[in-house]
């Protein structure tokens, strides 16, 4: 990706750290810890540059693990997509920067038939990670 606008077109919807914190019902420090733990991924974008998370990384709380959906709950309206962390770890092991990881997650992958983020949100983490591991 050569520019922020290319990344914006690829990802579409973004959330700032305070937005993520509000949706998850936590403070901004907890969101930063989620980023450090590689449970979420973010890049700086805009003018001035603001740390931003792709909105697709969050899902309705009962779909945190799409392979085993839970009952919707008002106590947990939003959650981090559970399968994202392991996938980010594989990409990190492959030497991907945060921006490169986001580009890969949001670009259609021929072997999956969809972008990896779409497959993760559909509960296909094993397939996605197999493809990610083959990137070495």
SS3 track for the chain: CCCHHHHHHHHCCEEEHHHHHHHHCCCHHHHHHHHHCCCCCCEEECCCCEEEEEHHHEEEHHHCCCCCCCCCCCCCCEEECCCHHHHHHHHHHCCCCHHHHHHHHHCCECCCCECHHHHHHCCCHHHHHHHHHCCC
Judged against a pLDDT cut of 50, whether residue 49 lies above it is answered with yes
- Average pLDDT in the 85-95 region? 95
- Average pLDDT in the 106-116 region? 96
Integer Cα distance of 97 and 103 in angstroms: 10
Structure confidence at residue 2 as a pLDDT band (50, 70, 90): very low
Token pair listed for 121? 């949100």
pTM score: 0.90
Does a cis peptide bond (omega within 30 degrees of 0) precede residue 100?
no
Q: What confidence score (pLDDT) does residue 98 get? A: 96
Token pair listed for 49? 């540059």
Where are the chain's structural domains? 4-62+71-133
User: Among residues of the chain, what percentage have pLDDT more than 70?
Assistant: 96
How high does pLDDT run on average in the chain?
A: 91
């Amino acid at each position: 990706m050569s520019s922020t606008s290319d990344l914006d077109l690829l990802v579409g919807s973004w959330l700032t750290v305070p937005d993520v914190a509000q949706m998850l019902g936590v403070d901004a420090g907890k969101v930063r810890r989620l980023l450090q733990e590689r449970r979420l991924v973010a890049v700086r974008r805009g003018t001035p540059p603001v740390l931003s998370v792709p909105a697709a990384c969050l899902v309705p709380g009962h779909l945190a693990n799409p392979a085993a959906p839970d009952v919707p709950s008002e106590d947990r309206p939003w959650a981090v997509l559970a399968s994202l962390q392991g996938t980010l770890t594989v990409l990190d092991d492959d030497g991907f920067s945060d921006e490169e990881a986001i580009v890969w997650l949001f670009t259609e992958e021929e072997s999956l038939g969809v972008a990896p983020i779409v497959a993760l949100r559909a509960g296909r983490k094993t397939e996605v990670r197999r493809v990610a591991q083959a990137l070495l």
